[in-house]
């Protein structure tokens, strides 16, 4: 049970492996799949797509810039 609480707490910490942006991106992806299968209205689908793409993209950019900064400091 402590592992679960540490994992949840990681979404609110800036130095943890978990990321709230990843959580939003993953939930957005599942919402996108659901909206495509049940209610394929273009505006809802594109809004969900934009939200999960931006969320996952920000996490990737953050990881790449952190890697570059570590490399430059050596």
pLDDT digits (tens, 9 = 90+) for 28-66: 788 888 878 887 788 877 887 887 788 777 777 877 888
Q: Report the candidate in 63, 59, 69, 52 with the shortest Cα–Cα distance to residue 19.
A: 59
Give yes or no for residue 25 having a pLDDT over 80. Answer: no
Q: What is the pTM of this model?
A: 0.49
């Amino acid at each position: 049970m402590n592992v679960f609480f540490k994992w949840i707490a990681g979404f609110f910490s800036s130095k943890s492996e978990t990321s709230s942006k990843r959580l939003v991106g993953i939930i957005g992806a599942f919402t996108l799949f659901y909206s495509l299968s049940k209610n394929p209205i273009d505006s809802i689908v594109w809004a969900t797509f934009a939200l999960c793409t931006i969320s996952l993209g920000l996490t990737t950019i953050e990881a790449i810039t952190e890697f570059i900064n570590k490399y430059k400091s050596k």
